[in-house]
Structure formats: structure tokens, C-alpha cells
Amino acid sequence: MKLGSFEIHTISDGTFKLDGGQMFGVVPKTLWERKAPADERNRIRLSLTCLLIRTGRHNILVETGLGDKFDAKFKDIYDVQHPTTLLAGLDDLGLEPEDIHMVINTHLHFDHCGWNTRRENGKTVPTFPRARYFIQRGEWERAANPTERERGSYREEFFLAAEPQTEFLEGDAEITPGIRLEVVPGHTRHLQCVSIDSGNQCAYFISDVVPTAAHLPYAWTTSIDLYPMETFENKKRLLPELVRKRALVIFPHDLEAPCVRLVENEGKIEVQAGGQVGR
Ligand SMILES: [Zn+2]
């Protein structure tokens, strides 16, 4: 997909499941189940969507999916399915891990940074040997020392080995012309979204601020969010702005529509009819 002089591609790292109640917070099941049917264990299926940006000079990866460093118990709890992987998707585009110049993680929850590292001869090593990795310093510190409340969301072996290649940011940053990281607190304190601008066109990787299109209503926030009122306020600020800018919005976990344009309809933000763009 063209975006000004850039090219952007969504790449799937397969799917997994999370508890539906966890994903929809205070929304009653009778309402959310219409959007996301639950299985017999009350879980709903979610995509693991990564984004590749090719600026002409750099190949930039946003998120690295779930990876493969988990055991049978983890696979069962989250029902991880890998009909394809991030690495296979890159290969389809003619790219090797060595060809990635930058890796951006919006935050370090295990479903966003799995391929930051991989195992090689019993050791965990960075998957992308020539990349600089970008994360907010505060997010890294929380991920490496989680409280009991957050512990289930982080897996040290997914990110720690890439530390020598990591750039720790403190606030918003334009890491290369047209690629801007913006701190949007709520889901975690230091989550960063990715704004991509080229030739008057804009795309926005919104991360778990709005994990799927079903989460567009302002009050539909997850109960995983550490600061749900901040997610709520940030959605109220951000979503109308993305409508005005006619931005392509990329959701991290939407199975049907990973990349859409939005419209405002009587105060409600919705996916534009026919506004789903590619995969
Ligand atoms: Zn998350």
C-alpha cells in the first residue's frame, strides 16, 4: 500500500485468544458478544498485526507479534495459531531479518514484542541483528519489574536480550523524517502510538488504545488498561483528529479489518463504509 513516498504493509503473526471480559472492561457480555463471539472458555480470537514501513531509506517494523518462545501450557491458555508468522510475512516481501533497520514496540506486552528475540543454540538473541529497537524508557522499566497487577502481561525473555540494541525514549520523538512516536497513556503509562506521515498522507498505528474496531466507542476500553480514564480521554481527543486527517488507522488485534479509515457519525466514531484498506 502506498502512503506518499512510503510503502506500508500489515503483516500477520497469526492469532491468539484472550478472555472476552478482559478485552471489554465494563461493557456487559450481552453487548460485546455481538461483536466478538466467545468460545466455551469465554475467550475471543484476536489478530496479531504488525506493520512494515518502507521509507525508501529504512525498513521499519512496528510490533513483532507473539513469536515462538512459549510452551504447550501457554499455547493452550492463549490458543496461539500460527498459519503464518511475522518472519514468513517478511520473507514474502523479500526481506530477511538483517534487512530491518528499526523496530518500534508500542509497549512490551507479550503479544507485541514476541519476535524482538529468538532462540539460537539454546541462547536468546535479538531477531533483527542490525536494527535499532525503540521503546519508552518507562515502559521498559515497568516490563522488566512488573507489579503483581501487570505480571501476566510481560515476558522478559521476549525483549530483554535486545537491550544492547535498544534506544530508550523519554517522551514523543520523530525517529526519522515522517515517523513520529507519541506517548498515549492509558493502557500502560508509557504506551507509544506511531504516526506515519508522507506527502500529505497519514497512517496511525493506534496500538491497544483501540485494539479492534469494536473498541471505537469511547467507553469500550479493556480491563487490562492500568489507567482506563486516560484511555477514555485520549480516545476522545485522538479519534476525531484521525477522522479530520483522513488517516489510515491500523488496529493491532482486529481479525476482519486491520487497516481502516474512520468517520464521525452523530458524535460516534465508526469505520467508514468500504473504508477497509487491504490487509
Ligand atoms: Zn497491551
Q: What per-residue confidence (pLDDT) applies to 258?
A: 95
CA of 199 to the centre of ligand 1 (A): 31
- Taking only the tens place, the pLDDT of each residue in 159-194 is 999 999 999 999 999 999 999 999 999 999 999 999
CA of 19 to the centre of ligand 1 (A): 13
The confidence band for 275, taking pLDDT boundaries of 50, 70 and 90, is: low
- Taking only the tens place, the pLDDT of each residue in 46-63 is 999 999 999 999 999 999
Q: What are phi and psi of 64, to 5 degrees?
A: -130, 25
* Residue 279 confidence (pLDDT) above 50: no
DSSP 149-179: TTGGG--HHHHGGGGGGEEEE-S-EEEETTE
CA of 83 to the centre of ligand 1 (A): 22
CA of 208 to the centre of ligand 1 (A): 5
CA of 109 to the centre of ligand 1 (A): 5
- Taking only the tens place, the pLDDT of each residue in 180-229 is 999 999 999 999 999 999 999 999 999 999 999 999 999 999 999 999 99
CA of 79 to the centre of ligand 1 (A): 17
Element (H, E) at 75: helix 72-78
CA of 252 to the centre of ligand 1 (A): 9
CA of 222 to the centre of ligand 1 (A): 9
- Taking only the tens place, the pLDDT of each residue in 51-102 is 999 999 999 999 999 999 999 999 999 999 999 999 999 999 999 999 999 9
DSSP 180-226: EEEE--SSSTT-EEEEEEETTEEEEE-GGGS-SGGG-STT---TT-S
Q: What per-residue confidence (pLDDT) applies to 274?
A: 76
Q: What is the pTM of this model?
A: 0.96
Q: What is the mean pLDDT of the chain?
A: 96
CA of 200 to the centre of ligand 1 (A): 30
CA of 187 to the centre of ligand 1 (A): 7
